[in-house]
Amino acid sequence: MQPRLPPELTDAILDHLANERTTLATCALASKVFLPRARIHIFDNIALSHPRLGHSPAYFLAFLEHNPWAAPLVHTLSI
């Protein structure tokens, strides 16, 4: 059996990385244990200011239609 970190410790680690989206995405891919907390930080603040990069309102709406779990995680949406 593999040793596991207490949930409070994994949450604290991911909270510390809150402003590091690339690192959070890597953590989310590395372990399903990290996924829920990483998503909280990744989707907290969404900016739709770069349509050429796929950050358009239409793209984000389509994303939410296919991933309804993400909508409650968005606290700030900048257009």
Query: Do 51 and 62 lie in a common domain?
Result: yes
Q: Which residues pair with 78 in a beta bridge?
A: 47
DSSP the chain: ------HHHHHHHHHHTTT-HHHHHHHHHH-TTTHHHHHHHHSSEEE---GGGT--HHHHHHHHHH-GGGGGG--EEE-
Query: Do 65 and 32 lie in a common domain?
Result: no
Kindly report, residue by residue over 4-32, the tens digit of the pLDDT.
889 999 999 999 999 999 999 999 999 99
Query: Do 35 and 62 lie in a common domain?
Result: no
Output the pTM of the full model: 0.83
Q: Spell out the residues 6+ positions from residue 76 whose beta carbon is closer than 8 angstroms to its own.
A: 44, 45, 46
Domain that holds residue 27: 1-42
Look at 15-19, 55-59, 68-72 and tell me which has the smallest mean pLDDT: 55-59
Query: Do 26 and 49 lie in a common domain?
Result: no
